[in-house]
Each structure stands twice: as C-alpha cells, then as structure tokens.
Structure 1
Amino acid sequence: MSDKLKVLKKQGLFVFLDILRLHRKKLPIELRSFGDVYVKQEFRQHQDANSRQYEMFLEQWQYYLADLKSMKDVKQIGKKISEEDKLLLNDDQMKTLSQLEEETKKTFKKE
C-alpha cells in the first residue's frame, strides 16, 4: 500500500466515524439504521480501491458529511441529483441509486 493510500485510508476512517456519529445525532432511527448499513457497505466495498479511486470515493463522502453537518432538521435530508450527474454514473452506480431510491420510498411510506 502506498503512503498516499495509507493517508487516504486514515482520513477515510475519520470521515466514516464522523458520518456514523452525525447519523446518531441528526437522523431518526429508521433512516439512521438504513444510512449506517449503506455507509458501512460502501466503505467495505472500497477497501481494495487504488489511491485514485479511493480519493474520488472519499471526496464524495466528504461532501455528504458537509451536507450532514449543515443540516438543521430531518426535512432537509438529501438533494436532487441533476441529470448531468446521473449521466456520469456507471451501471453499478445507477443500480445502487435505484435501490437507494426504492428503499427510501419504502421507509417514508411506513410513516
């Protein structure tokens, strides 16, 4: 493992822990459990990424972390993904996005 990747992984650990902490602090239990599982899966899936991939992965989670930090209440969660951004997603990412949308709809239907 390169030195750069070691530094990125250490940063990733802090981002991961901050996200879980903010989930506990700001999200209702239904969303928190869903969000925690999703975050853990994503970080697990990227353990073997190279430096460039992990850097891009971490950057996106840092954006999410910044959104969580600025969130005042649960009604503010998330934001619409632009069509331009959707075009940048690969097939696996589109599948994950669709699954996330379905699970979110199920969660909010229960309420």
Structure 2
Amino acid sequence: MRPTLRLLASAMPSTNAMSPGPMALLPPIYLYRRLFRAHRRHLPSEMRLLGDEYIKAEFRAHRDVENPVHLIGFLTEWQLYAQKIEGDAWAGEKLDQGKISKMSDEQLGQLYELMRAIQKRGTEGQGSDS
C-alpha cells in the first residue's frame, strides 16, 4: 500500500450503520499490530494460529493495492473484525447476507474450504476424546 493511500485511509471515516459512530480508520501497520494483539488476548491458541496466518496472508495479498475504494473497504472490514474480537461479540455470529451476496466465486470457495476445515477439526476433536 502506497503512503498516499495510507494517509487517505486514515482520514476516511466509516459509513457503516452498525458502528456506534464515525470511526477513524487506523493506518495499515497499526491495524495489523492491533489484530495480532486482539488474537493473542481473546482467542484460544488453535484459533489464534489459524487467524494469525490468515491476517498475514490477507495483508500480503493487499500490499500493492492502489484502488482507494478497495483499500478503504479492506481496512474498514479488518477494523470492524478487530473490534468484534476485542469485544467478544464474534462468538456465534452469522455472516451478513449482504456481504455474502457481494463475494466473488473465489471468495465463496475459500469460505466453503474454511467451513470444511473447521468441521473436520471439530469431528477429529470429538473422535479423540472417546
């Protein structure tokens, strides 16, 4: 992410109706660190490992984004995620249908693979307890 886009991202308020008010976006490096801290403090070790790897992969994949709208969306969603993790509001929450309808086929495939991996871990964990 170029420095000018970082400044733009940090200056743009969120327009999400679900947030408690205008939220100033954190610059990418601060948000990246905040996400890891939130995982360290609020997630069990197995979930933390999976989440940390996902954060690293996503931020690497979006390192060279030049579209300001895409960048603002990326940072906004990660900041909302951090707030949910820090507030323990994530447990049992379902995905928003509006966000699912906007996903590409590739994103839906990744979501499906993640769901299958979680289900597989759950069945393996239950089988080893017997």
Report the TM-score, using the length of structure 1 for normalisation: 0.82
- 1:83 alignment partner AA: Q
Q: What runs of 5+ residues in structure 2 fail to find an aligned partner?
A: 11-25, 126-130
RMSD over aligned CA atoms reads 2.1
Query: Shift of the alpha carbon at 1:35?
Result: 0.5
Q: What runs of 5+ residues in structure 1 fail to find an aligned partner?
A: none
Query: How many angstroms apart in 2 are the aligned matches of 1:78 and 1:13?
Result: 29
Query: How many angstroms apart in 1 are the aligned matches of 2:59 and 2:88?
Result: 22
Report the counterpart of residue 73 of structure 2 in structure 1: 56
Query: How many angstroms apart in 2 are the aligned matches of 1:103 and 1:30?
Result: 13
Matched, 1:44 2:63: no
Alpha-carbon contact 1:30-1:107 (below 8 Å) kept? no
Query: Shift of the alpha carbon at 1:78?
Result: 5.5
Secondary structure at the aligned position of 1:77 is classed as coil
Report the counterpart of residue 50 of structure 2 in structure 1: 34
- 1:63 alignment partner AA: L
Cα displacement string for residues 92-111 of structure 1 (whole angstroms, at most 9, x for unaligned residues): 22122112212222333343
Query: How many angstroms apart in 2 are the aligned matches of 1:13 and 1:27?
Result: 21
How many residues align? The count is: 107
Cα displacement string for residues 57-87 of structure 1 (whole angstroms, at most 9, x for unaligned residues): 1111011011011117xxx535211333211
Alpha-carbon contact 2:6-2:28 (below 8 Å) kept? no
Query: How many angstroms apart in 1 are the aligned matches of 2:42 and 2:80?
Result: 16
Report the counterpart of residue 32 of structure 2 in structure 1: 16
Secondary structure at the aligned position of 1:101 is classed as helix
Q: Which of structures 1 and 2 has the larger relative contact order (alpha carbons within 8 angstroms, sep 6+)?
A: 1
Q: State which structure, 1 or 2, has the greater radius of gyration over its C-alpha atoms.
A: 2
Percent identity over the alignment?
27
Structure 1 residues 22 and 2: alpha-carbon distance in aligned structure 2, compared to 1, 3 A threshold? closer
